[in-house]
Structure 1
Amino acid sequence: MDHTQAPVLDALAAFRAGGYVPFTPPGHKQGRGTDPDTARVLGADVFGSDVLAISGLDDRRSTHRILDRARELMADAVGASTMD
């Protein structure tokens, strides 16, 4: 198994590079509406990674299997049969 892969990070990088505007539950809006003091302390960029796995990193049916592939890699790395 190729442990140089990082499915979640790759999907997150693609999402951020794509300039998508999320249509997801409140609270996952990449910092839109964040309190100015919070943004000042944490930095505005940290909120760009607040993305749901479905309708963000993958589609709602998880057809790209991003989380499944990440779990498989982790299970293999630690010698587990599953990471559920």
Structure 2
Amino acid sequence: MPAAEAVGRVAAETISPYPPGVPAVAPGEVITEAVVDYLRTGLDAGMLIPDVFDPSLKTFRVLA
């Protein structure tokens, strides 16, 4: 689902940016706008996100 539309939906994947390597999103959590902004600005700054389905963060996996 497009990132903007994922806000308020339940995550279906773990997203652990590195650094720090701590999950920002875990399956079952509601995705917030603050988390999407954090991940996208971090990605733009060079943060690695190795475990996400879409490394560009244009889409997020959510529950149907």
Does the pair score TM above 0.5? Answer: no
Per the normalisation by structure 2, the TM-score is 0.28
More helix, by proportion: 1
Scaled by the length of structure 1, the TM-score of the pair is 0.24
Q: Which has the higher contact order (CA 8 A, sep 6+)?
A: 2
